Structure 1
Amino acid sequence: MPPEHWQGTLWLAADFAILHGAAGVTATHAHYAHQLMLSTGAPFTAELDGSVHTAQRLLVASLRPHAILTAPAPMLTIYAEPQRLPASALLAALDGMAPPGAHSPVSLDGLASALLAQPRQALPDPRLQRALEQVDALLSGKVSAAAVAEAAHLSLSQLERLFSAKLGLPVRQLVLWRRLRLAIRGILLGNTLTHAAHGAGFADAAHFSRTMRSLFGVRADRSLRQLTVKLID
């Protein structure tokens, strides 16, 4: 079985990431980010919503169950925050890039610039912005739903309805996703798994590892250490 880890370069921006290199197999999982997978070499095989696809390009929208079954060639994978970049923006950013099957190098600089140039979606309600800012301010410790609701000038029930209706996740799951993003960033920047987990508000490294496995289908200790990171302002 191919290894369960990623190898290559990860370009990390505030609301998207580009992974270029070898992709390991994954268990079935579903995460909040939109994901676009592209191979300019041999096709990869992935499962999406229970159906198997052998392709050189596959778009996986937010929260759709999927798994990588085989990935014989290096791949380009884009992840994007759905409240900022719609799935269509990932496809639009590839316009002008080397088409699948051309066997020509993908310009990561060009792709990063194209993604940065895509119009960002505004949050549909200013109360959401206040709520998310409060979530991020509290991530290193306990995130109190009451404190988030107070910052957004909402009741708890209103907060839950707003998150579910506009972001597609209940408050608790959105907090978990943002904790995971923060912990992954910490590890990629050189922190230990334990330090990164605690800094993102996880109870311990095991809790972070379980979350990584659930949302990305891979083990944190095997999947992140082989990556070279470039931060995009």
Structure 2
Amino acid sequence: MQHRIQIDPGWLTIAAPITETDLHQHTCWQLVLGHDWQLLLDDQALTGSYVIALAPGVMHALRLSQGVVILLEQQSAVGRWLKQQSAGKSRFSLGCDPALSPDGFRRWIEQQSQTHEVAMDAQISQLLTQLDGCLVADCIKPSQWRAAQVAQQLGWSESHFLHRFKQSMGVPWRPYLKWRRLQCALLALQRGQSATEAAHAAGFSDSAHLSRTFRQQFGLTIRQALRQFL
């Protein structure tokens, strides 16, 4: 079966229909492109066939008959551009063709956000590069990523590291690391590993821990995700 999920540094793209999810929220920006999508928010239900951007931390449920969901990290150039475009709103529409392919949309939005590239803290940037290594090889064992150990490697106190990381990334270290571990688990599942194997590879205590975290982040069980887009 052709995989319909792609993970790149700062991006997670799901190109597949999605049955209605449970209520959940992300630390990332979420973009929905396609036709006949439905979003259930705290205050109302939305339907449409345009491109909608949803800010980090917004509780929602989603149903998508045909289209693409993209999750973008806040510190990326696109994430910074989306924050500016939102003008403080929790959701807004983007003026582009909802029928664009994932690659076509990526080219469009990267062109829009070119001026939002910023120089990141050099040591935080180096840390992200190390984490990105998990996307092309076996996941680095998570015991190396405890805040105290990372701070020691950087020559900082733990409190200084946590402050610098949140300042640079817009999200605290612990939820960000959880997000990156989920990406490692997704890649393991995509390679055909079991939930238990994926949990171990990504640093979750067991498959139940992975399952709970997965459902909180995506609003789907692992079994549903395997059936729909993995």
What is aligned with 1:81?
A: 73
Q: Give yes or no for the alignment of 1:13 onto 2:8.
A: yes
Q: Give yes or no for the alignment of 1:63 onto 2:65.
A: no
The residue matched to 1:86 in structure 2 has which SS?
Answer: helix
What is aligned with 1:222?
A: 224
What TM-score does the superposition give when structure 1 sets the normalisation length? 0.75
1:12 to 1:179, Cα distance in 2 relative to 1, 3 A: closer
What is aligned with 1:3?
A: none
1:169 to 1:67, Cα distance in 2 relative to 1, 3 A: same
1:70-125: per-residue Cα shift (whole Å, max 9, x none)?
44x3122222222224344699xx87x6x24xxxx533443355467664744532
Contact 2:120–2:168 (8 Å) recurs in 1: yes
RMSD: 3.1
Q: Letter of the aligned partner of 2:152 in structure 1? A: E
What is aligned with 1:36?
A: 31
Contact 2:34–2:66 (8 Å) recurs in 1: yes
Q: Distance in 2 between matches of 1:116 and 1:132?
A: 20
Q: Distance in 2 between matches of 1:123 and 1:48?
A: 35
| 1:128 aligned residue (113, 124, 130) | 124
1:64 to 1:121, Cα distance in 2 relative to 1, 3 A: farther
1:122 to 1:182, Cα distance in 2 relative to 1, 3 A: farther
Q: Distance in 1 between matches of 2:13 and 2:132?
A: 23
Q: Distance in 1 between matches of 2:132 and 2:5?
A: 23
Segments of structure 2 that go 5 or more residues without pairing to the other structure are 86-93, 134-138
Q: Number of matched residues? A: 210
Q: Distance in 2 between matches of 1:123 and 1:32?
A: 21
| 1:149 aligned residue (148, 151, 162) | 151
Q: CA deviation at 1:8?
A: 7.5
Q: CA deviation at 1:210?
A: 0.6
1:18 to 1:144, Cα distance in 2 relative to 1, 3 A: closer
Contact 1:124–1:166 (8 Å) recurs in 2: yes
1:224 to 1:14, Cα distance in 2 relative to 1, 3 A: farther
Segments of structure 1 that go 5 or more residues without pairing to the other structure are 1-6, 229-233
Q: Letter of the aligned partner of 1:74 in structure 2? A: Q
What TM-score does the superposition give when structure 2 sets the normalisation length? 0.75
1:183-226: per-residue Cα shift (whole Å, max 9, x none)?
11211122221111111111111111111111111111221343
Task: Give 1 or 2: higher helix fraction.
Answer: 2
Q: Distance in 2 between matches of 1:60 and 1:15?
A: 16
Q: Distance in 2 between matches of 1:53 and 1:35?
A: 15
What is aligned with 1:173?
A: 175
What is aligned with 1:140?
A: 141
What is aligned with 2:188?
A: 186
1:218 to 1:129, Cα distance in 2 relative to 1, 3 A: same
Q: CA deviation at 1:139?
A: 4.4
